[in-house]
Structure formats: C-alpha cells, structure tokens
Amino acid sequence: MKQDIVDVLARLFAEQGGTEYFGEPVTQAGHMLQAAAYAEAAGAEPSLVAAALLHDVGHFTGEISGHELMAGTDNRHSHSGADWLAAARFPEAVTEPVRLHVAAKRYLCAVEPGYFDLLSEASVFTLSVQGGPMDADEVAEFERGGYAEAAVALRRWDEAAKDPEAQVPGFEHYRPLLEKLLSA
C-alpha cells in the first residue's frame, strides 16, 4: 500500500508536476522539490520535509485546477491536498502544515512587516483570491493552532522555492522518507 501511494506521487510529480507553476518561473514539481530541499537543509523534522515536498499536491488532486485559481476561483488546494494525503495515511505532522500553508501566507502578511513585499506577483494575486491578509481574530485563531509554527516554516520555504536555476534532489531522493512516514 505505502509503495503504491509513493508510486502515485512519483507519477504526479513526473506528469502534472512538469507543467507550469501558474505564473512562476519554475514547474510545479520543481517548486515543491525546492521547498523540500530548503526544509531538509534547515534540518527540519522528516514530517515537515515531506510536508514541504507535498504542500501543493492539491493542485494535482483537487476538483478545481490551479488554472482556475489563477482565473480567480480559490481552489483550496491546501485543504484538498491535506485531505488527499490524510486519506493516503500520512500522519498529521505532514497533513496539517500542508493544510495551513495558505493560511500561513495570509498570517505572515498580517503580522510581519515587509513579508508582503517578498511575495511574487502570482503569489500576490492568489493571496487576494485566498482571502487577503488575516484580520486580528483570524491571527489569534491561527496562532492557537497546533501546527502554526510548522506551517509558517513551510510557507517561508514555499515562497523561496521559485528559482529556475536551483539544483535540488529529485523525487526519488524522498521516496525512503515518504515510505517511512507511511509506515509509522
């Protein structure tokens, strides 16, 4: 079963992942692989490395495409991706940072001066579709969540992972990590 799920993910990275990443200079797979490489370089826990690797899987598995997101319809890819990963039996330490990575963008734009200025043009657009910066009540609720810190770390790697020249490990590098998480 776990090998089947990882094989499905490998296919998603190889097929849909090779397509454009909605206004960014990298492919979707390239973006997610860069985010995972940043997490790994930072010494993140294996579950958070996996979350960084898989954070945008909802663009592949959700009912509403990323192209529809770029046309102004929130595809809630963070939630659909987290739900898909949970159904595949990934632990919460993987699924919940994935679920919260869009909320973390909204959070950081609300609480960290200058964070908005770090966003790419495409990320600024999707922020507006995804609800804009959080209000005070949303900030307080986000901060009370058990995975807020992990989601913020993931969000920082997510935003940085858009370098078309980056040399990072491919999907197969992460296969043992994913299989181990599915066994836990």
pLDDT tens for the chain, 184 residues long, are 556 999 999 999 898 776 665 666 678 899 999 999 999 999 999 999 999 999 999 887 755 445 554 555 555 678 889 999 999 999 999 999 999 999 999 999 999 989 999 998 888 888 888 899 999 999 999 999 999 999 999 999 999 998 989 999 999 999 999 999 997 6
Task: Please tell me the distance from the alpha carbon of residue 168 to that of residue 160, in angstroms, as a whole number.
Answer: 13
Task: Please tell me the distance from the alpha carbon of residue 80 to that of residue 58, in angstroms, as a whole number.
Answer: 5
CA dihedral 65, 66, 68, 73 (to 10 degrees): 110
Closest among 164, 119, 158, 167 to 25, alpha carbons compared: 164
| pLDDT score at 174 | 98
Tell me the two tokens of residue 157.
């790697």
Beta bridge partners of 20: 27
Q: DSSP characters for 37-73? A: HHHHHTT--HHHHHHHHHTTTHHHHSSS-HHHHHTT-
- 113: amino acid identity, one letter: P
| CATH class for the domain made up of 2-183 | mainly alpha
Contact 39, 62 (CB under 8 A): no
| Residue ranges covered by each domain of the chain | 2-183
Residue 174 DSSP label: G
| pLDDT score at 23 | 65
Geometric angle at alpha carbon 119, from 117 and 122, rounded to 5°: 135
| pLDDT score at 64 | 47
In angstroms, the first-to-last Cα distance of the chain is 13
| Predicted model pTM | 0.90
